[in-house]
Chain A
């Protein structure tokens, strides 16, 4: 298709015709997607995943645009509803590897109820949540994850609310895998994804990410590099952190790591037992 021209190393997974992508310079979403695709590529090369059985499901938001750029099957659904759509896909065809990718507003705000119940069911999905602390696509309004005190366009005097700790929320439903990574640590995203891909049950990876345009700039970081460095300095990697360590705020930062790892039967396995 592209002749002898230089190909993107992930060209098997990326619809190059649709590039360049729409994400702003310095945005972390592309880093996250790249890391995830590299983990998938490894699995495909090992024969552990069938490329033709991959489905990426997203809602609406900057993060959700990831569905535009993958070459394999994808769905850019409606705001907050990626998880139920993906559940329907997986239940109707269990041979598919179903991934969900979305923003913190999409997954934990408007879609928060679906998140809780999919985790409770241990639904066989791998969900990535991009936590950029803001509603980026709509121009920088407060998100459920926005740290207390920070300026957003709908909290001009600072956010009076406490941020949602999605790690604790999801973990409370005892799914199989809960981890927090960061776009400032791409190798971690790749490592966690690689591990979670072939597991059954509900798997949740939160990815802290930078939005230089409508988060960083709004709180006084005038260039993407400063925001990147700030987020990196607030990200502390820990081996097997406890759930209580997952709480975060702007001053103390957040702990990256694998919070939950268990191998309970996933929803489909459990269902088969009941159907006998």
Chain B
């Protein structure tokens, strides 16, 4: 183990390398460019390769191709670039390609404010591609979690054969912090399963019927990577039976594993009358606000998901069982509020949308909460 003073962008890059990433493709965009620049120096030392492609569309498709050729692969971008990657992301979903996309949120819509952060893309990463599917989204609140969640993202991607999103933002991206870089012996690294060559055509015989082993190129599998609806062989069969079977599996292989994907943290919730729900960078001033209010003997706690999708309603329900009100603090117009409200039916859930290019300060959060006490 070693200790470094690095940004969340660099921490994510280091976590990805630790998880075994060997291929990175990208296109420059603030605030993701320096992650790419760092990897351009660092990844070759770790036996990998980075390439700058002509746009984000090429980047995500190259990442998908590289994954099928056997390399753990990643790209990083921000709003406008993510928008261009959306079709490719859907392709990765239907072909069950393990890969990681780091989306570093900047203020949108459109070109917005490139250097500043909001949390405006929390639905884009989950719902932008068309079709029926589910996709895991992890959301760090510090550089340390950038490192830890990058490893976890690759492990989920490999175990479930799915793209995984790491959702960071412009403030976290360039915050320098102390990060413990663990050794390979301290972490668990998961690699995709491949079919036994003997029965290479019957992945159904394999362990899980939700995640078929991956027929990586160049090993004699005769892989059929297919963007159309397909059966287990990769053959296009446009009927209800095949369609339902595939899309239900795409949904279930994530949602049935939700218990393992959920990863929420609570602070000062044991005796709470009130609960603050916040995620990513905003959870930090939200925590400061909670501590501030506690000084005034207001019993309030914080709930913070590190997996944004699938939505952790289970632990949220547990944490909010006894509270009178739940405040959803987020740096957008109140997006995840709807999801929280949907799951806490009957509970008073209050949206606190604090749009702030610099991350809302604790005083603003304290003031907004106080209005509702």
**Do A and B have CB atoms closer than 8 angstroms in the complex?**
yes
A contacts, CB < 8 Å to B: 15, 18, 52-53, 55, 57, 60, 67-68, 71-78, 81, 83-93, 95-96, 113-114, 116-117, 271, 275
Main secondary structure on A side of the interface with B: helix
Question: Closest CB-CB distance, B225 to chain A, in whole Å?
Answer: 4
- B88 touching A117, Cβ below 8 Å: no
A18 to B, closest residue via Cβ: B235
Q: Mark each residue of chain B from 213 to 227: 1 if its CB lies under 8 Å from any CB of chain A, else 0.
A: 001011111111111
A86:B58 contact, CB within 8 angstroms: no
A88 near B224 with CB under 8 A, answer no
- The segment from B66-74, B167-175, B178-186 that touches chain A is B66-74
Among B58, B65, B91, B95, point to the contact of A92 (Cβ < 8 A): B65
Q: Can you pick out 19 interface pairs between chain A and chain B where the beta carbons lie within 8 Å of each other?
A: A57-B65, A68-B224, A73-B217, A73-B218, A74-B224, A74-B225, A75-B95, A75-B225, A76-B227, A78-B61, A85-B65, A87-B65, A88-B68, A88-B69, A89-B66, A92-B22, A92-B67, A92-B71, A116-B54
Give the residue of A18, A77, A84 whose beta carbon is less than 8 angstroms from that of B53.
A84
Q: Say whether A88 contacts B23, CB under 8 Å.
A: yes
Q: With the chains together, A57 CA to B323 CA distance in Å?
A: 56
Whole-angstrom distance between the alpha carbons of A87 and B68 in the complex?
12
Contact B23 A53 (CB under 8 A): no
CB-nearest residue of chain A relative to B215?
Answer: A73
Number of B residues whose C-beta is below 8 Å from A?
A: 43
Residues of A within 8 A of B71 (CB): 92-93
Cβ of B133 to closest chain A Cβ, rounded Å: 15
Contact with A along B54-98 (1 / 0, CB 8 A): 110111011111111111010000000000000110010001000
Instruction: Provide the residues of chain B in CB contact with A74, threshold 8 Å.
Output: 223-225
Which of B49, B58, B236 contacts A117, CB < 8 Å? B58
Contact status of A91 and B66, CB under 8 A, knowing A18-B235, A77-B61, A81-B57: yes
Nearest chain A CB to B21 CB, angstrom units: 11
Chain A to chain B: the 6 pairs with minimum beta-carbon distance, closest first? A88-B65, A88-B62, A75-B225, A92-B66, A84-B58, A92-B69
CB of B228 closer than 8 Å to a CB of A: yes
Nearest residue, chain A, Cβ from B23 = A92
A77, B64: Cα distance in complex, Å:
10
Judge whether B113 is part of the interface by a CB distance below 8 angstroms: no
Known: A84-B58, A96-B218. 7 other contacts (CB 8 A): A53-B218, A75-B226, A78-B61, A81-B88, A89-B68, A93-B71, A116-B54
Residues in A with CB closer than 8 Å to B91 are 77-78, 81
A85 touches B228 (CB 8 A): no
B44 within 8 A of A: yes
> In the assembled complex, which residues on chain B have CB atoms less than 8 Å from the CB atom of A86?
65
Contact of A89 with B65 at beta-carbon distance under 8 Å, contacts A55-B217, A73-B221, A78-B87 already known: yes
Main secondary structure of the interface of B (DSSP, over half): mixed
Given contacts A73-B218, A73-B222, A96-B217, contact A91 B62 (CB under 8 A): yes
| Interchain CB contact under 8 A, B218 and A95 | yes
B25 at the interface (CB under 8 A from A): yes
Q: When the two chains form their complex, are residues B64 and A88 in contact, meaning their CB atoms are under 8 A apart?
A: yes
CB pair B54–A89 under 8 Å, yes or no, is: no
Q: Are B70 and A92 in contact (CB under 8 A)?
A: yes
A127 CB → nearest B CB, Å? 14
Given contacts A68-B236, A77-B91, contact A113 B65 (CB under 8 A): no
Interface string of B187-203 (1 = CB under 8 A from A): 00000000000000000
- Tell whether, in the assembled complex, residue B62 and residue A76 are in contact, meaning their CB atoms are under 8 Å apart: no
B51 contacts partner chain A, Cβ-Cβ < 8 Å = yes
Collect the chain A residues with CB atoms within 8 Å of residue B221's CB. 73
Chain A nearest CB, measured from B1 CB (Å) = 29
In the bound complex, CA of A88 to CA of B64 (Å): 7
8 A Cβ contacts from B204-242 to A: 215, 217-228, 235-236
Q: Closest residue of chain A to B87, judged by CB?
A: A78
Contacts of A84 in B (CB 8 A): 53, 57-59, 61-62, 65
B114-157 with Cβ < 8 A to chain A: none
- With A and B bound together, what is the CA distance between A74 and B218 in angstroms? 10
Report A53 CB to chain B, min CB distance, Å.
5
- Name A83's closest neighbour in chain B (CB-CB): B58
